[in-house]
Amino acid sequence: KQEVTQIPAALSVPEGENLVLNCSFTDSAIYNLQWFRQDPGKGLTSLLLIQSSQREQTSGRLNASLDKSSGRSTLYIAASQPGDSATYLCAVRPSTSYDKVIFGPGTSLSVIP
Amino acid sequence: NAGVTQTPKFQVLKTGQSMTLQCAQDMNHEYMSWYRQDPGMGLRLIHYSVGAGITDQGEVPNGYNVSRSTTEDFPLRLLSAAPSQTSVYFCASSYSWTGGSHEQYFGPGTRLTVT
């Protein structure tokens, strides 16, 4: 059974720091992996989607990498800002069952001005 | 495009009452799904649909019914609400079931409290 974990559960950094959020999954047979951002009391906003054949995706200050063989993805945030404070979730879509996306528990990020 | 919309935003029910959570998308997405989000449990899939007239169960389907009569709408019904159904409910959609990126788009959520 596919399981997704995210470490750390919470992270607090000063403004301007570069930071890395981690996502691990137990089964390498995935179709894609998607990173989301969730602000308190809000829905999920898609940040980056990495297909299984890709190694990384970039959008602005965000870079997500994927290493299927080791069951890991990282989300790199450059030059963090207070507006980046949110919970970040990763979600894995198994290649054997497209319908059942598995979410990680999330990392709560706080960027201190 | 409005994207994925959900109504209501907040709802309080008494145990045993029934209600329907509405979800609509205007992106012509084939795939739609419902999740619930609980502290410490993350997002869990309740039901999903790969097209009009086709639905299936997710990880936690008990106590919920769905139907998909149109591509745009995917309502979630609670037949007899229980306190254990207190949660935040999210609807999501993606463009293609068979191939494509499967990038998911989420609605703003419905916060449900059952007393």
Summarised one tens digit per residue, pLDDT across range B57-96 is 999 999 999 999 999 999 999 999 999 999 999 999 998 6
Nearest CB to A42 within list B102, B103, B108: B108
Nearest CB to B102 within list A31, A103, A105: A31
pLDDT for res B99: 58
pLDDT for res B101: 67
Q: Strand order of the sheet with strand A62-67?
A: A4-7, A19-25, A72-77, A62-67, A56-59
Summarised one tens digit per residue, pLDDT across range B34-57 is 999 998 778 999 999 989 999 999
Beta bridge partners of A20: A76
SS3 A58: strand
Q: Which residues of B touch A46 (CB under 8 A)?
A: 103-106
Percent of chain B at pLDDT exceeding 70:
95
The three-state (H, E, C) secondary structure of chain B, written as one string: CCCEEEECCEEEECCCCCEEEEEEECCCCCEEEEEEEECCCEEEEEEEEEECCEEEECCCCCCEEECCCCCCECCEEECCCCHHHCEEEEEEEECCCCCCCCCCEECCCEEEEEC
pLDDT for res B97: 56
- B45 touching A (Cβ < 8 Å): yes
Q: Which residues of B touch A10 (CB under 8 A)?
A: none
